[in-house]
Structure 1
Amino acid sequence: EDVTERRRIEERITHLAHYDALTDLPNRTMFHEHLRAGLAAIAGSEEIAVHYIDIDEFKGVNDALGHLVGDELLKSIATSLSRCAGPQDFVARLGGDEFAIVQSAVTSLEQVDELVARVFQAIRAPFDCMGHHLTTDASIGIALAPRHGTALDQILKNADMAMYAAKAAGRRTYRFFEPEMDAKVRERRQLEIDLRHAIAQGGLEGGLEVYYQPCLALKDDRITGCEALVRWRHPERGMVSPAEFIPIAEDTGLINEIGEWVLATACRDAANWPDDIRLAVNVSPVQFKSGTLALKIMAALAASNLPASRLELEITEAVLIRDDDTALAILHQLRAIGVRIALDDFGTGYSSLSYLHRFPFDKIKIDRCFVSDIAGPDGSASIVQAVVNLAAARRMTTTAEGVETEEQQRLLRALGCSEMQGYLFSAAKPADKVLELFALHRSRLAQRGGEESRRREAS
């Protein structure tokens, strides 16, 4: 009996059970088997270092350039990791954009640092993926056995916590496990529980609040609109930064409930504003992909009696998945309701120009990173000028974010930017305070107009 073909099939099945189909690296199952054997064989003063490697902002590549390009990038990263690992090191893909390296026979932390340096050098080199020139980076967490534990589950958990600590430190770095990290994980879990309670509270004490940051026309200094920004006044912690709780909300899906509440609350507040002041509300990619966004917007407008023309939705490039007709159809659906659409954080993503070509936005928001150094000798004035010209050619307005100095305001006005937003004019304020600001600012403009009229008459 010829069993050659049967054995070939059996070998293929065994291979598929232990290796990743995309990168052909060992998979999570084989990684666990190898690490379990390594932990059982630790002897003497040698240690094992487990490196958890998470590719930073990989989702943005998938969203902007598509999954085929994302897969090519993962294969390129896998090849680079295999090349920089030592002969005794074990490289695996755990799934998604997560990889791992088991570094054996470690006798000093310098060895671990050297491997990390090689990993960063390898993955920071530009990759050519289907014609796209991509650079990437990683957050790496490291746990040492037996120093940080000898049980498989414990080492995996500690490496994972160290990796999240690297992410929390701003990504593009690495961290060794420390016992205090366990307390931080518990704290994050408690914050998630508290956030769920705050959402249930809504605008009540200890719940979420909506603040509004005004947008000022650079031509005549009128307030043209306000951006709704969610705030959380924790009963024990005080004001919790959105940078702290929004990522938790997005990771857990709570952002849908938060976004719906902010939209309804902001529309209700804006209905009491002067008719010429618009409301801007941010929409996260998670909300956008829920499929019911247009219905929720129509419901919020109907409940508040706010005209659709006074509502502006701010979306980032992550909302627009390349070649995703569904995303564009939803935007056209929202436009048909009468809602305005603004592209937020312009210039910080992958393919902004293609988005401007495919959808007629009403406004482009120029990211604060371009505004902060606009006044320098090698600053971003030319970039801002290019964006302003591009927007004008496509009948879009421009809003500069993060304006903090009069010099920035003067330059933006000279470059032809339509509006500004930032601390120079006003920080975000609660609903009652922003109403007071409207009245105060109008009286100042009227007073200034009167003084100019008297000067003209006198001359």
Structure 2
Amino acid sequence: MLSVLSCIAYEHDPFYLSLAVLVLTTGAYFTLRLYARVRRSASSLKLLWLVMAGLIGGGTIWTTHFLSMLAYESDLIQGYSLGLTIVSLIVAIAGVSLGFLVSDITDRPFSTEIGGALVGFSVAAMHYVGLAAVEISGRVIMEPSYVAASVLLGGFFSALVLNRISKQCSRFCGHVAVVLFVLCVTSVHFTSMAGITIIPLGGDAGEAPMFSKGVLGIAVLLVMALLFLSVFMAYMIDAKTEEATDGRIHRIFEHDALTGLLNRPGMNAAVGRVLQRATSSPSAAAVISFSLDRFLDIRDAHGQKATDSMLRHVAKVVSGCLSDSEQLGRVGDCEFLVLASDVYSKREVNALCARIEAVLGTSFKWEGGLLPVRAAFGYAFFPLNAREAVELIDKAEQAMKCANRAGPGTITPYKESLGVTAKERGTLSIDLSHAHERGELELYYQIQNNVATREVTGAEVLLRWKHDTLGMVPPYKFIPIAEETGLINVFGPWILQAACDEAASWKAPIKIAVNVSSVQLAKDGFADIVEDVLRKSGLNPARLELEITESGLLADRNHAMQVIRDLKSLGVGIAMDDFGTGYSSLATLQMFPFDKIKIDREFVKDLGKNKHSAAIIRSTIILAESLDIPVLAEGVETEDQLEFLAAEGCNEAQGYLFGKPVPVAEIRKITNARPMRPPLSLVS
């Protein structure tokens, strides 16, 4: 150890040594970033990133070696052999590429570490070929123990490098890997050089082509500069390509193909952005919902072509009457939303509704006749009526439905009386707190089927509340109350345990899907609860699938990411529920490692009626296939819907076509039967 330290301190020029460390650290960072891309990429892209990683990694090691040799102070060094210098570069690039390939080509135990060790051995091989390239007026004696130590240290540190990159457990693993890479290269060089003794001899180095010290230094830095420029250009090209692709996908997902307006996911995102800005503004925001009167009658009488033309007409005239702070979107067959981001009173919103009604009143011309275009309007205010985008839109739509009952031209603001009254919520909250101990809560199961074969592949667990006096209480009424009051943290473990116990008793080893609330996900120790449930039930973790909505991930992304990592380490599957209805589903999909995507029933129900829903579903399946993630479509009710999903490559489906949610006694008839293809009597 003292010999190595003495070699560093007294036998190397500080300037060249500092330059070597700078190049090595920078190159290590780029190399490991590229190696991470290798592991995340597929097919031809993987090979391209592997070649780039090998070039940068090998070039970094080679450059560091010769800068260190330039730093090595000895009057006996006369120059550097041209041929062996080039050979040493080839050895470094080939060795690093081979090591990266071995570490990534298989999932066998220790393959990553074996590949890493190969990288370290290639560092040592390049070093000793590089030493042979040095023309010295003397005899070089190498201490075998130092040679062996340098090779072993290189292999050890390099194995740790790829281990930390491939099996990251914290955000610091990448930094640790860079440090280990630096230790790998420096330990090989300095341990080897500490064991070298040069005995001076007379004569010169011969007449073989040689580099002088100055020329070699310039050549080394030029090679590394070109390599760094190459990786920079590669990243720029990749980033631009990814940006363009994301832009096209976002356009498909967030815009209505017929009118060019924002669709429901697009409006959800737009409202979310406006509400975020409005929290620090004195003005309020409002969402107006309106649907076209007698739209279905017009389609039946004049055909799809007429209504499509009418929708484009409405989009054009309404967009033309809006200001810069107002935005129009089409979110349903004949339903539109208007987002007003700078309003102060109901009078302004009423005036905006009247303005829209006025331009709609200019009747639409079709085949020589006039078709009436009328609408009723409902609206809701932020922050008066709601503070979340989805809730604000929902309340505007509730108000619109009330206005529709009153007839075209009606303008209705949202009122609490339109939804569940405060008194009713209070009563339900009190009763819900005792529902579990009274035995009023029950689990229902809805089967999930393979789209191609119709075989049962899983079952989703659904919580039902049979109130003593009210009868069956709809989930949309009591689930939000359970989340707001924290009761979901009481019900959640019971639901999970009961579902896993039940699934473990089935003859058919199908999956069991359990919904996880954002409240549960935010609670510390959720993964421990799941682990305890699996242990008690004896259920294979691979059969448990936890369904999480995007809203459950947004509050604290870092915490959610850690919880999901803990769950996946147990072997549990994670499904993204209600895909396409969140603020930024694509970004969420990129950030979190999902095992399945569930397409929301809102898109499925309009198949055959709305070609835009078909476009959204088709795009979702294409995106999922590119990410190698299976897709399940919810709310499948007709054979036509199933045929469309099968043609597009959707993997699984659930809905009334296969069966309604059933109590435990009924699901046992299905899961304990052979074969697992559901009989016709179970198809509703």
Q: TM-score when scaled to structure 1? A: 0.61
- How many Å apart are 1:438 and its aligned residue? 3.1
1:304 aligns with 2:537: yes
**Local SS of the residue matching 1:227:** strand
- 1:200 paired residue among 412, 437, 441: 437
**Local SS of the residue matching 1:442:** coil
1:72 aligns with 2:283: no
CA distance in 2, matches of 1:340, 1:279: 10
Indicate the residue corresponding to 1:34 in structure 2. Answer: none
Aligned residues: 319
- 2:479 paired residue among 246, 253, 259: 246
What CA deviation, in whole Å up to 9, does each residue of 1:373-412 have, x standing for no partner? 1223624222212111211221211000000001001111
- How many Å apart are 1:185 and its aligned residue? 2.7
Amino acid corresponding to residue 436 of structure 1 in structure 2: K
**Local SS of the residue matching 1:376:** coil
- 1:138 paired residue among 375, 380, 402: 380
CA distance in 2, matches of 1:76, 1:317: 27
Indicate the residue corresponding to 1:258 in structure 2. Answer: 491
CA distance in 2, matches of 1:100, 1:383: 32
CA distance in 2, matches of 1:415, 1:425: 19
1:373 aligns with 2:612: no
CA distance in 1, matches of 2:606, 2:493: 35
Indicate the residue corresponding to 1:403 in structure 2. Answer: 636
**Local SS of the residue matching 1:231:** strand
CA distance in 2, matches of 1:357, 1:192: 38
Indicate the residue corresponding to 2:627 in structure 1. Answer: 394
Amino acid corresponding to residue 573 of structure 2 in structure 1: R
* Compared CA separation, residues 372 and 414, structure 1 to 2 (3 A): same
What CA deviation, in whole Å up to 9, does each residue of 1:62-86 have, x standing for no partner? 9x87xxx8652323572779xx9xx
- How many Å apart are 1:301 and its aligned residue? 1.0
CA distance in 2, matches of 1:438, 1:80: 50
CA distance in 2, matches of 1:117, 1:168: 13
1:191 aligns with 2:433: no
Indicate the residue corresponding to 1:272 in structure 2. Answer: 505
Indicate the residue corresponding to 1:37 in structure 2. Answer: none
Indicate the residue corresponding to 2:577 in structure 1. Answer: 344
CA distance in 2, matches of 1:378, 1:71: 32
Q: Which moved more, 1:290-299 or 1:401-410?
A: 290-299
Aligned residues with identical type, % of pairs: 40
Amino acid corresponding to residue 398 of structure 2 in structure 1: G
CA distance in 1, matches of 2:395, 2:613: 28
* Compared CA separation, residues 410 and 327, structure 1 to 2 (3 A): same
> Is the CA contact 2:396–2:414 (under 8 Å) kept in the aligned structure 1?
no
CA distance in 1, matches of 2:542, 2:380: 43
- 1:174 paired residue among 395, 413, 429: 413
- 2:675 paired residue among 428, 431, 442: 442
- How many Å apart are 1:198 and its aligned residue? 0.3
CA distance in 2, matches of 1:80, 1:197: 39
* Compared CA separation, residues 218 and 236, structure 1 to 2 (3 A): same
CA distance in 2, matches of 1:434, 1:240: 21
Indicate the residue corresponding to 1:417 in structure 2. Answer: 650
What CA deviation, in whole Å up to 9, does each residue of 1:218-257 have, x standing for no partner? 1211110000000001111111100111111122111211
- How many Å apart are 1:177 and its aligned residue? 7.9
> Is the CA contact 1:208–1:231 (under 8 Å) kept in the aligned structure 2?
yes
Indicate the residue corresponding to 1:384 in structure 2. Answer: 617
Amino acid corresponding to residue 190 of structure 1 in structure 2: T
* Compared CA separation, residues 354 and 121, structure 1 to 2 (3 A): farther
- How many Å apart are 1:315 and its aligned residue? 0.3
- How many Å apart are 1:370 and its aligned residue? 1.2
> Is the CA contact 1:141–1:175 (under 8 Å) kept in the aligned structure 2?
no
**Local SS of the residue matching 1:309:** helix
What CA deviation, in whole Å up to 9, does each residue of 1:408-447 have, x standing for no partner? 0111111100000000100111111011123557276799
Amino acid corresponding to residue 380 of structure 2 in structure 1: A
> Is the CA contact 2:670–2:676 (under 8 Å) kept in the aligned structure 1?
no
CA distance in 2, matches of 1:247, 1:285: 11
* Compared CA separation, residues 431 and 186, structure 1 to 2 (3 A): same
* Compared CA separation, residues 244 and 371, structure 1 to 2 (3 A): same
- How many Å apart are 1:299 and its aligned residue? 1.3
Q: CA RMSD in A?
A: 3.8
Higher fraction of helix: 2
What CA deviation, in whole Å up to 9, does each residue of 1:62-120 have, x standing for no partner? 9x87xxx8652323572779xx9xxxxxxxxxxxxxx997x8xxxxxxxxx63552588
Amino acid corresponding to residue 366 of structure 1 in structure 2: I
CA distance in 1, matches of 2:515, 2:538: 20
**Local SS of the residue matching 1:249:** helix
CA distance in 2, matches of 1:318, 1:334: 18
> Is the CA contact 1:315–1:341 (under 8 Å) kept in the aligned structure 2?
yes
> Is the CA contact 2:285–2:383 (under 8 Å) kept in the aligned structure 1?
no
**Local SS of the residue matching 1:138:** strand
CA distance in 2, matches of 1:281, 1:430: 15
**Local SS of the residue matching 1:388:** helix
* Compared CA separation, residues 359 and 439, structure 1 to 2 (3 A): same
Amino acid corresponding to residue 279 of structure 2 in structure 1: L
Indicate the residue corresponding to 1:133 in structure 2. Answer: none
CA distance in 2, matches of 1:177, 1:377: 32
CA distance in 1, matches of 2:676, 2:559: 46
What CA deviation, in whole Å up to 9, does each residue of 1:334-390 have, x standing for no partner? 100100000000001111111221222110001111111122362422221211121
Indicate the residue corresponding to 2:563 in structure 1. Answer: 330
> Is the CA contact 1:368–1:401 (under 8 Å) kept in the aligned structure 2?
yes
* Compared CA separation, residues 209 and 171, structure 1 to 2 (3 A): farther
Q: For the pair shown, which has the larger CA radius of gyration, 1 or 2?
A: 2
Q: Name the structure, 1 or 2, with higher relative contact order (CA <8 Å, separation 6+).
A: 1
**Local SS of the residue matching 1:291:** coil
* Compared CA separation, residues 430 and 168, structure 1 to 2 (3 A): farther
Amino acid corresponding to residue 396 of structure 1 in structure 2: I
1:361 aligns with 2:591: no
CA distance in 2, matches of 1:77, 1:404: 47
CA distance in 2, matches of 1:119, 1:73: 19
**Local SS of the residue matching 1:333:** helix
**Local SS of the residue matching 2:280:** helix
CA distance in 1, matches of 2:643, 2:447: 18
Indicate the residue corresponding to 1:92 in structure 2. Answer: none
What CA deviation, in whole Å up to 9, does each residue of 1:250-285 have, x standing for no partner? 221112112222111111111112343000000111
* Compared CA separation, residues 260 and 175, structure 1 to 2 (3 A): same
Q: 1:50-199, aligned counterparts within 5 Å?
A: 71-76=276-281, 78=283, 114-117=347-350, 138-139=380-381, 167=395, 170=398, 174-175=413-414, 184-199=421-436
> Is the CA contact 1:310–1:339 (under 8 Å) kept in the aligned structure 2?
yes
> Is the CA contact 1:140–1:174 (under 8 Å) kept in the aligned structure 2?
no
CA distance in 1, matches of 2:437, 2:471: 18
Indicate the residue corresponding to 1:281 in structure 2. Answer: 514
* Compared CA separation, residues 291 and 80, structure 1 to 2 (3 A): closer
* Compared CA separation, residues 401 and 407, structure 1 to 2 (3 A): same
